[in-house]
């Protein structure tokens, strides 16, 4: 059995001979892998937020320490940077 994993080689999905025989399932596996990666990123963000709650730094910018805007946190409770230090959206 082969494995399909992410770029880091983690949480691989098994690829059986059935999957290899049915090429139409490859996009489905890729979609599942993308969903798994997105879920892992979300859980990482939740873990960081819970840790910052515990250590008293929730709601402050990771870069400069400024307090984050309440409305911004309502929109995205996992924010870790103030407006000045967020990456530009494309």
Average pLDDT over residues 76-85: 94
Residue 88 has pLDDT above 90, yes or no: no
* 4 beta partners: 13
* pLDDT for the residue numbered 4: 43
Tracing tokens 């873990």 back to the chain, one arrives at: 47
- State the chain's mean pLDDT as an integer: 81
Q: pTM for this one?
A: 0.61
Task: Please check whether residue 4 is in contact with residue 13, taking contact to mean a CB–CB distance below 8 angstroms.
Answer: yes
- Give per-residue pLDDT as tens, 2-19: 444 444 444 445 555 555
- Give per-residue pLDDT as tens, 29-67: 888 999 999 999 999 999 999 999 999 999 999 999 999
How far is 58 from 77, CA to CA, in rounded Å? Answer: 9
């Amino acid at each position: 059995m082969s494995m399909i994993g992410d770029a880091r080689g983690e949480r691989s999905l098994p690829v059986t001979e059935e999957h290899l025989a049915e090429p139409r399932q490859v996009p489905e596996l890729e979609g599942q892998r993308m969903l798994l990666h997105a879920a892992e990123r979300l859980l990482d963000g939740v873990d960081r937020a819970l840790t910052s709650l515990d250590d008293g730094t929730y709601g402050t910018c990771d870069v400069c320490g400024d307090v984050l805007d309440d409305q911004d946190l309502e929109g995205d409770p996992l924010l870790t940077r103030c407006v000045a230090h967020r990456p530009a959206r494309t």
